[in-house]
């Protein structure tokens, strides 16, 4: 066990007991199929890869496994206006710091309009 407090999310790996069908999305994507373990930097980690290489799929899986809604926002925003959320989150094993973040936000550009509209309707965005 690591005794450093940062990063809050230290490692992500595929659970050894996960049931995986490599013929279907998301495991048919090479970067997901070969995802054995990701180690995060204490400050910031960048995912770099060509269009369609799986960055959003992996980030969505991590965010959902952490308790965020697949479309983003705080953990209180649980929006899912499409059926297209992958099952990757079910197979992820997260190693988290003993210190929990006070707050968090999954900023997802693809669906930010939906989340912002929802927050606006709730009266959170009075600008």
Ligand X SMILES: Nc1ncnc2c1ncn2[C@@H]1O[C@H](COP(=O)(O)OP(=O)(O)OP(=O)(O)O)[C@@H](O)[C@H]1O
N- to C-terminal Cα separation, the chain: 45
For the CB of residue 107, give the shortest distance to Mg ion in the complex, in Å: 13
Element (H, E) at 45: none
Element (H or E) spanning 19, and its range? none
Binding track, positions 88-127, relative to ligand X; x by CB under 6 A: ----------------------------------------
- State the nearest-atom distance from the C-beta of 56 to Mg ion, in Å: 3
**Interface residue list for Mg ion (CB under 5 A):** 55-56
Measured from the CB of residue 88, what is the shortest distance to ligand X in angstroms?
A: 10
CA nearest neighbour of 111 among 70, 75, 78, 66: 70
Q: Which two tokens stand for residue 57?
A: 């799929």
Please identify, using beta-carbon distances, which residue of 87 and 119 lies nearer to ligand X: 87
- What part of residues 11-70 is at the interface with ligand X (CB under 6 A)? 25, 29, 49, 51-57
User: Is residue 107 within 8 Å of residue 98, measured between CB atoms?
Assistant: no
Say how far apart CA 24 and CA 86 lie, in whole Å: 10
Residue 13, SS3? Answer: strand
Task: Report in angstroms how near the CB of residue 70 gets to ligand X at its nearest.
Answer: 10
The yes or no reply on residue 84 touching ligand X (CB under 6 A) is yes
Note the residues at the interface with ligand X (CB under 6 A). 25, 29, 49, 51-57, 84
């Amino acid at each position: 066990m690591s005794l450093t407090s940062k990063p809050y999310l230290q490692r992500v790996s595929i659970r050894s007991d996960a049931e995986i069908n490599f013929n279907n999305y998301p495991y048919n994507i090479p970067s997901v199929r070969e995802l054995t373990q990701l180690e995060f930097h204490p400050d910031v980690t960048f995912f770099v890869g060509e269009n369609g290489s799986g960055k959003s799929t992996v980030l969505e899986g991590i965010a959902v496994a952490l308790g965020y809604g697949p479309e983003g926002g705080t953990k209180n925003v649980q929006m899912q206006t499409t059926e297209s959320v992958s099952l990757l989150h079910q197979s992820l094993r997260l190693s988290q710091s003993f210190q929990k973040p006070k707050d968090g936000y999954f900023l997802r550009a693809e669906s930010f309009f939906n989340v912002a509209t929802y927050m606006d309707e709730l009266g959170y965005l009075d600008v």
